[in-house]
Amino acid sequence: MKVALVTGASKGIGKACALRLAKDGYTVVVNYSSSDAAAKETLSQIQAAGSEGMIYKADVSKLDQVKLMIREVIKAYGRIDVLVNNAGIVRDEYLLMISPDTLDKCFELNVKGYIYCAQQVALKMFKQKSGVIINMSSVSSKFALAGQSVYSATKGAVNSLTQTLAKELGAYGIRVNAVAPGFIATEMIEAIPEEKRKAYVEQIPLKRFGTADEVANMVSALVSDQFAYVTGQVFVLDGGLSL
């Protein structure tokens, strides 16, 4: 049995990753922080795909909650083979409007949350002498978008973190890579006014938004043995936006 933990997996990219890993034969732990109904729906779809799993409510920016979650997963399944660090937050604010609350929330979830989860999962992967960690980054880490200085800073940190963890953990058989999606058709994009959406599409060479399933396909490939010799890399999935 192979076990995958996906954070922020009740909807969007996290949900797509959880479902794809279930189809790949993983037992999937669906972490979420608020949407009980959505998390249960993700789990029921995992079970419908013929796989097993559990839901676990935890705020990954809180170390005590992360420790408890990992303990419960190990108690239930005995191992963790894959961690997808996906739970995150976007708050677009121009420099002069950035509030301390935005800074704190974004860095706590997008950076500290990733570190806490990687730290606690790595402790278990050490014993297995194997494991894969995928950090969800963003094209914003490489491509400047006005109003996203805080978000970009957190995702730039994720890229650097990915490289350093790859170097630290490689000797233990643990690979660490990042996926940096561009504009993906999720609820977040749908909330943007139509005119603005059209303007965004115009900037993309492939002239469309990506899908959550396309991101999940990349995650699926990266955790597989096909990419057994790849670590410390950031894979951009943006339809050419950042070119």
Q: Which residues are catalytic?
A: 151
Element (H, E) at 32: strand 27-32
Q: Please, are residues 181 and 211 in contact by the beta-carbon 8 Å criterion?
A: no
Q: How many other C-beta atoms can be found within 10 angstroms of the C-beta atom of residue 61?
A: 23
Counting every residue written for the chain, the total comes to 243
Task: Name the nearest CA neighbour of 182 among 106, 240, 233.
Answer: 240
200 CB-near residues (< 8 Å, 6+ apart)? 183, 192, 209
Q: What residue spans of 78-190 are helical by DSSP H?
A: 100-107, 113-128, 149-169, 187-190
